């Protein structure tokens, strides 16, 4: 029988396994370990006076209440009298992946975010960051010190943390974590993460956490010694797949669903971003993603907060965001790689790898209008038909971005967009992301045009694993034609990826930051550009190398005109009738423009095409100042 933990407060849920603080002198230890004959708790007491306590077996579970243990106690679980391992539900690994687990009392933290109810997804402007690189300290507290910058100087409403579950060493993207319940010790552990979330909420900012439910890292991964956590039927590109649909899967499913509930309940998180769900394999009648989303939404209702679940997938599978009533999984949103690939290939003219599937402005307009570009037609890159249609879904169901950790860091040399396109094109990309109808996501440093790369880095303690990673990266990039691949294990690879925050105060970097701030302000204050509601129609004009986006909400209407030409142009454009007033031109001097003469403060559109002037890669935003045009005279 599965152990029951006492309910603490009106949370609707609590962890039943792991270490549960009962009072100041008692802790209940419980573990699912069908592969063990015996399980004991080894308490590490001061002065080397360790204490070993047997756990009582009940079916596949082992549990016991231990006197003399409390919050802060360190312990191992001893399997079969000889193997000391960290707890599979360890809340903290203060000494790293192989060390003892530490008892944490979730009720001990003094939260000050009372009254916080979360944000609707349409109000999210997401800023993705890597905790280790985001501040000089490389900690949760260091990130907290930069929140005023994110909110006041930039204007984002949500931060997204790359995975923080305990990983080997102190340098990692976080996708090789092996303790899903334990915030990284070198980042500041549980207390540091809670302080960061609390500080965000007190500023009115939401927090998204990237979680990995498709695999665990290879080093320090002890779950298989406890039970059948991994599948013998499937394999991911990153290692063993999780067992969601075979013998023992019920408890494995509960382990990861509980993990999601743990983050939103004990850490007050507002949103979970599920990494690479195309690596989650489940042939059950009811998919794990549907169960997880349902459990999160139910718990959010109990907590009285808005909590969202976002998927990352490269399958263009609309079932992720379809409601269960339409045989979907009921997730709130998913990343749209097609949006990124359309924009990136148009700006850079790159055609290697998956960029071979994307053909300029027509695909970009399609992504803005309908979401997925590949809706079932043949993909040359994949050599087969690919995708499903996201038409009919709210634009809030899709996340749009010009850069993110994957699209930058999975290039061999980690080049950001700032290293690939002219400065004016960076401004164009910013305008399309932030004024488009989808939920926008920015990547750390993008807002001021950071030029340092963001490379792939690891700090495996096992040298054989480090060598395997090196060889794997070389093989992965062979089909892209990229031969120079920095060594992920070298500390300098990590240091090269550190943003230089002083740049945001200088020259064009400061001008680009001013533009991002203005674009976010326009999105927030202009009804036709606010959030994901209203009508949107993007039109590609390939001959003029121009994209027009017509956005309307109620009586408000805005035009976004984006030139992809690298030279000045004066196209004649068929535009909606009315008097149009310029809200923003990326060519303005305050945004680093070189030639103010090209800007149009206003113009009148009638039946005939209007001649407008554009600087290279300029983006103009206009609002209609009267609903019906009038004939002069």
Buried residues in 83-101 as b, exposed as e (16+ CB within 10 A)? ebbbbbbbbbbbebbebbb
Give the 3-state secondary structure of residue 129. strand
Both tokens assigned to 261? 């509930």
Q: Does residue 415 carry a catalytic annotation?
A: no
Q: Determine which one of 105, 123, 198, 275 is catalytic.
A: 275
| 559 CB-near residues (< 8 Å, 6+ apart) | 548, 549, 550, 551, 575, 576, 580, 620, 621, 622, 624
Q: Are strands 179-183 and 556-563 parallel, antiparallel or unpaired?
A: unpaired
Alpha carbon distance 134, 529 (integer Å): 30
Q: Does residue 314 carry a catalytic annotation?
A: no
Alpha carbon distance 457, 211 (integer Å): 18
Are 570 and 595 contacting, i.e. CB atoms less than 8 angstroms apart?
no
Measured CA angle at 412 (ends 407, 415), to 5 deg: 55
Are 443 and 128 contacting, i.e. CB atoms less than 8 angstroms apart?
yes
Measured CA angle at 505 (ends 454, 432), to 5 deg: 60
Alpha carbon distance 160, 312 (integer Å): 13
Q: DSSP character for 247?
A: T
Are 152 and 469 contacting, i.e. CB atoms less than 8 angstroms apart?
no
Q: Tell the burial category of 294 from Cβ atoms under 10 Å away from its Cβ (0-12, 13-18, 19+).
A: middle
SS3 of the chain: helix, strand, coil, percent, to 5: 30, 25, 45
Q: Sign of dihedral through CA atoms 85, 88, 212, 114?
A: negative
Q: Determine which one of 128, 266, 312, 357 is catalytic.
A: 312
Q: Sign of dihedral through CA atoms 496, 275, 419, 380?
A: positive
Q: Are strands 439-443 and 126-129 parallel, antiparallel or unpaired?
A: parallel
Alpha carbon distance 404, 353 (integer Å): 17
> Within 13 A of 400's CA, how many CA atoms are on the CB side?
29
Element housing 460 (H / E) = none
Catalytic residues: 275, 312
């Amino acid at each position: 029988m599965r152990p029951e933990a006492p309910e603490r407060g009106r949370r609707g849920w609590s962890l039943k396994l792991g270490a549960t603080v009962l009072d100041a002198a008692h802790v209940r230890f419980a573990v699912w370990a069908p592969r063990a004959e015996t399980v004991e708790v080894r308490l590490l007491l001061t002065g080397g006076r360790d204490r070993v306590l047997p756990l009582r077996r009940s079916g596949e579970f082992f549990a016991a209440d231990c006197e003399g243990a409390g919050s802060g106690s360190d312990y191992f679980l001893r399997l079969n009298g000889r193997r000391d391992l960290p707890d599979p539900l360890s809340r903290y690994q203060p000494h790293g992946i192989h060390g003892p687990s530490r008892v944490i009392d979730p009720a001990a933290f003094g939260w000050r975010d009372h009254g916080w109810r979360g944000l609707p997804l349409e109000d999210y402007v997401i800023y993705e960051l890597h905790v280790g690189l985001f501040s000089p300290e490389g900690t949760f507290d260091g990130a907290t010190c930069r929140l005023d910058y994110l909110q006041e100087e930039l204007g984002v409403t949500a931060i997204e943390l790359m995975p923080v579950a305990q990983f080997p060493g102190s340098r990692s993207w976080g996708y090789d974590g092996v303790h899903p319940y334990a915030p990284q010790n070198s980042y500041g552990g549980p207390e540091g993460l809670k302080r960061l979330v609390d500080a965000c909420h007190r500023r009115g900012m939401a927090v998204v956490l990237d979680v990995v439910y498709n695999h665990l890292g290879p080093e320090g991964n002890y779950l298989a010694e406890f039970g059948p956590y991994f599948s013998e039927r499937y394999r991911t590109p990153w290692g063993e797949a999780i067992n969601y649909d075979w013998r023992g899967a019920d408890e494995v499913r509960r382990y990861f669903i509980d993990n999601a509930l743990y983050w939103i309940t004990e850490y007050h998180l507002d949103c979970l971003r599920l990494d690479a769900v195309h690596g989650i394999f489940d042939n059950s009648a009811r998919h794990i993603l549907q169960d997880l989303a349902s459990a999160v939404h139910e718990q959010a209702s109990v907590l009285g907060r808005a909590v969202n679940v976002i998927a990352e997938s490269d399958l263009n599978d609309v079932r992720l965001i379809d409601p269960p009533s339409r045989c979907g999984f009921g997730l709130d949103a998913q990343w749209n790689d097609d949006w990124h690939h359309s924009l990136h290939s148009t700006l850079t003219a790159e055609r290697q790898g998956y960029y071979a599937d994307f053909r300029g402005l027509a695909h970009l307009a399609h992504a803005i209008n309908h979401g997925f570009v590949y809706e079932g037609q043949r993909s040359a890159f994949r050599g087969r038909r690919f995708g499903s249609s996201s038409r009919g879904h709210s634009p809030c169901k899709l996340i749009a971005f010009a850069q993110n950790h994957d699209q930058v860091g999975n290039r061999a040399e980690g080049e950001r967009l700032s290293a690939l396109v002219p400065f004016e094109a960076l401004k164009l990309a910013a305008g399309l992301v932030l004024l488009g109808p989808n939920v926008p996501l920015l990547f750390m440093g993008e807002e001021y045009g950071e030029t340092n790369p963001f490379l792939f880095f690891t700090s495996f303690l096992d040298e054989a694993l480090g060598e395997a990673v090196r060889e794997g990266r070389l093989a992965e990039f062979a089909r892209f034609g990229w031969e120079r691949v920095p060594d992920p294990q070298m500390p300098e690879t990590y240091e090269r990826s550190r943003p230089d925050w002083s740049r945001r105060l200088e020259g064009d970097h400061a001008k680009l930051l001013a533009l991002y701030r203005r674009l976010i302000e326009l999105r927030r204050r202009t009804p036709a550009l606010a959030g994901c509601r209203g009508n949107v129609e993007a039109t590609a004009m390939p001959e003029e190398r121009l994209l027009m986006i017509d956005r309307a909400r109620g009586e408000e209407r805005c035009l976004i005109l984006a030139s992809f030409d690298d030279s000045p142009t004066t196209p004649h454009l068929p535009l909606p009738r009315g008097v149009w007033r310029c809200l923003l031109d990326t060519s303005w001097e305050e945004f680093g423009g070189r030639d103010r003469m090209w800007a149009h403060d206003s113009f009148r559109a009638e039946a005939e095409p209007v001649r407008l002037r554009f600087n290279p890669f300029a983006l103009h935003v206009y609002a209609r100042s009267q609903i019906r045009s009038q004939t002069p005279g």
